[in-house]
Structure 1
Amino acid sequence: MSQQPSNIPTLQNHPPPNPPPPASDPEVYRAHHDAFAAEGLPTTPAGWIERARKVADILVVDAAARNKEQKTPRAEVSLLKSSGLTKILGDKKYGGGGESWALAMKVIREVAIGDGSIGMILGYHLLWSTIARVVGTEEQRERVEKLIIENNYFVGGAVNPRDNDSRVSPSGDGLVFNGFKNFTTGAALSDLVVLEGVLEGTEHHIFAVVKTDQPGFIFSYNWNNMGMRLTESGSARINNIPIKWEDALGWDLEKKVPIKEIHDAPFAGIMVPEIQLIFVNFYLGIAYGALKTAKGYTLTQTRAWPFTFNPQKKAVDEHYIVSKYGRYYANLRAVEALANEAGEELSTLIQNHGEKRDMTARQRGELCETIAAVKITSTHTALEVTAGVFEVTGARSTSEKYGFDRFWKDIRTHTLHDPVAYKESELGRYYLIDELPTPSWYT
């Protein structure tokens, strides 16, 4: 191996890793694994939605308790795998579902209704498992897809773009990754990890899909945030992870440069609107989950307020309670409609332009702004709903045993990913002066 470049942070620059935390046991879902295996993959859109709802129904039973325990969700990932949801976008010739992003977004949403963290890591898996379709050569597309789908691998990422200290260096006949990433959602419990770094001496980025189980990954196990507690989104040190040149996605092997027709095409930026729409759908799922859980509580435990000019006997007859439920439900339905529209627009562009990568900059920009609109509305709506459910459930619902706080904490934690105020400004400039967003890691 080549020596570590001098500009790469050393382990001393970062906190030492914690020991791996306890993990949930996949055997707790054995009956469900066997049932899904007997049923096989769904074959219709309705079947995929029903499968996602089954997974959500399984997860919701102890979601509050698992959130509090914060065990590494190996059992929950095994459930995603056995249900087949990890394969929904995969090519049918390798055993995948062959479905569209529009349907996959709805599946992410349904899973998030049961458990926001698991809906989130499913979304990230689907994004990273399709990266070779976006920036890979035809040979890489086929090879990576076959590897992931035939083995039912779960994929995480060590790509966080705000950490610019990952570097790629020549090493013998190949390359080696070194660096540090503060956020590596799902990577510590994955089979494969997507790496990203800048080739030493250039400004060119390299993406590669590598095996997780190798000594060069040093996971810190330091994700202990108030929300999204089961996503394993902590930091990791990347220490001399080797790849072959043929695994550098979308690179010319002879000239050792990115293939312009791939990396310079607007289609290379399709993963940004994809991930932004993934965010929208698990926000929406979490908010629906909060409202659904609150409904069950209100129908069985919330008491009417007696100290009023017009006292009622039941909570469901209280005007302020039923009107708030109506408002929250209406707002979520509106966000859902816009999310579905954006999903169809995304899927249509991929279907029409994915093979030839001939999507135009305007098509990409307009898609980004459609998704920006729903990102803005989903953020504000989900924050309002997940905080407001306490107003329709009452003081006793704040007991820790109910875990109602997890919904707002999940939304508040992840909506800080990229400030929604900048999305509002971006969308305003598009509407006022027809300015398309400058492609970046976030737009």
Structure 2
Amino acid sequence: MTSTLSRDTTVHPDRSAWTETPSDSAGWIRRAHEVASILAADAVERDRAGATPHAEVALLKESGLVTLLGPVEHGGGGQNWVTAYEVIRAVAAGDGSIGQLLGYHLLWFWAARLVGTREQIEAVETAATQNKWFFGGAVNPRDSDVTITDNGDTISYTGRKSFSTGSHVSDVTVLEGVLETTGAHIFAIVPSNSEGLTFHHDWDNLGQRLTESGSVTIDNVTTEWASAAGFVDKEFQPRVYNTLNVPIIQLVFVNFYLGIARGALQAAADYTRDTTRPWLHGGFDRAVDEPYVIDTYGDLTTKLWAAEALADAVAVEQQKIHDNAWDVTAEERGAHEVRVAAAKAAATDVALEITTRIFEVTGARSTSSKVGLDLFFRNVRTHTLHDPVAYKRREVGRHQLIGELPEPTWYS
């Protein structure tokens, strides 16, 4: 658990040291903080420019974070999801967009483990780790207009998705669609430069501007049946672990929300110490001595630490499921989803509160666009609308009242 809000203020860490792979979780988390410090230095300027984040993804590759979950024998970090969530949180403190990109990438890197056969898992993780693939995904569940045609030895995807996070910067893209003949959902990984795959670069939203989450057209994109995740002889091999994609991605959300909140609180504290003026009628010489300023930072820090502690505890609980992936039960999965829902609700509330209330203790001049404190709010406000947090609280409430476990859906 992160117990302080201190941050690595080194703007230019020694990147030559990145040629060596960290040997433990602590080393990877330090590496993530180094990446965050590089990103934070010009996050506001890059957000304004809105350029496709090729350099930022190259940074994630250079640092090794893209292979954090990859097998050690193939050059990966060999880390688990407990470390991965802390890494996502650290990177998001420097730049929320890149924290999201990394989090989504790690989920799609893991997708073969979620739904693939043992042979597919081995093949995908070997290739992805050795080649440092960066993953994108065209799997927006609100759009059910991608159909799959069975061509015999191959399958072809055709349709459109409104959102495809990481599109222009990915090496490979996870596609999802519905097989015309049976209605089965099929996931497959294809090269992002595949013929017929067109990313429209039309993401123009309030926040998370560098996530390349625009729409995609999929026109007869063809791949081998052998790449259909979890299918053997054109039949899917189901297990409960297949449904863990939602708890994973929701906990990814939790951690980059908390990372953005942490970054906001750190940036605000720096501004208050260095720039904010005390109120002229308050009787104090420094803003940091104002009682209401002290109280606000104490309040927000306490709430952030509490939300981080819950997120860390839920991550540990989830790791036990990952460690028992082939035998996890529906009851274990459902009980875990309730805990994830609670963490999601807590992270949403605290991130929105922190990114809003920091202006109360930084002063009117802190609203200047060159200061950039608005970036934290815009990022959190944008992504927390992904799915209504009220439905997360409903999962928790119904479990508390009647012991109900949520049924697996695209959002629960």
SS of the residue 1:270 aligns to: helix
SS of the residue 1:366 aligns to: helix
Amino acid at match of 1:258: F
Amino acid at match of 1:237: T
Equivalent residues in 2 for 1:156-235, closer than 5 Å: 156-235=136-215
The aligned residue for residue 297 of structure 2 is 325
The aligned residue for residue 20 of structure 1 is none
Asked whether 1:268 is paired with 2:242, we answer yes
1:33/1:82 contact within 8 Å kept = no
2:13/2:34 contact within 8 Å kept = no
Q: For the residues of structure 1 that align with 2:17 and 2:235, how far apart are their CA atoms? A: 45
The aligned residue for residue 385 of structure 1 is 354
Deviation at 1:36, TM superposition (A): 4.6
Equivalent residues in 2 for 1:342-353, closer than 5 Å: 342-351=314-323, 353=324
Q: Tell me the matched-pair count.
A: 401
- Structure 1 unpaired stretches of 5+: 1-30
SS of the residue 2:160 aligns to: strand
Amino-acid identity (%): 50
Amino acid at match of 2:285: K
Q: For the residues of structure 1 that align with 2:153 and 2:232, how far apart are their CA atoms? A: 14
* CA displacement 1:330-377 (0-9 Å, x = unmatched): 0000001001001101111111x12xx211111001110111111001
Distance 1:33 1:202, change over 3 A: farther
The aligned residue for residue 4 of structure 1 is none
Asked whether 1:258 is paired with 2:239, we answer no
Amino acid at match of 2:395: E
Asked whether 1:372 is paired with 2:341, we answer yes
Q: For the residues of structure 2 that align with 1:405 and 1:202, how far apart are their CA atoms? A: 48
The aligned residue for residue 432 of structure 1 is 401
Q: For the residues of structure 2 that align with 1:70 and 1:295, how far apart are their CA atoms? A: 27
* CA displacement 1:374-424 (0-9 Å, x = unmatched): 100100110000011100100000000011111011001000000001111
Amino acid at match of 2:322: I
* CA displacement 1:243-301 (0-9 Å, x = unmatched): 10100011122xx2212xxx2x2211111100000000000000000000001100010
Equivalent residues in 2 for 1:81-230, closer than 5 Å: 81-230=61-210
Deviation at 1:32, TM superposition (A): 7.1
* CA displacement 1:40-81 (0-9 Å, x = unmatched): 111111101100000001110001111111110000000000
- Structure 2 unpaired stretches of 5+: 1-11
SS of the residue 2:90 aligns to: helix
Q: For the residues of structure 2 that align with 1:191 and 1:32, how far apart are their CA atoms? A: 27
Q: For the residues of structure 2 that align with 1:209 and 1:35, how far apart are their CA atoms? A: 33
Asked whether 1:288 is paired with 2:262, we answer yes
Q: For the residues of structure 1 that align with 2:17 and 2:178, how far apart are their CA atoms? A: 42
Amino acid at match of 2:252: I
The aligned residue for residue 314 of structure 1 is 286
Runs of 4+ in 1 over 4 A off after TM superposition: 31-34
SS of the residue 2:137 aligns to: strand
TM-score (norm 1): 0.89
The aligned residue for residue 278 of structure 1 is 252
The aligned residue for residue 15 of structure 1 is none
SS of the residue 1:188 aligns to: helix
The aligned residue for residue 328 of structure 2 is 359
The aligned residue for residue 416 of structure 1 is 385
Q: For the residues of structure 1 that align with 2:128 and 2:92, how far apart are their CA atoms? A: 23
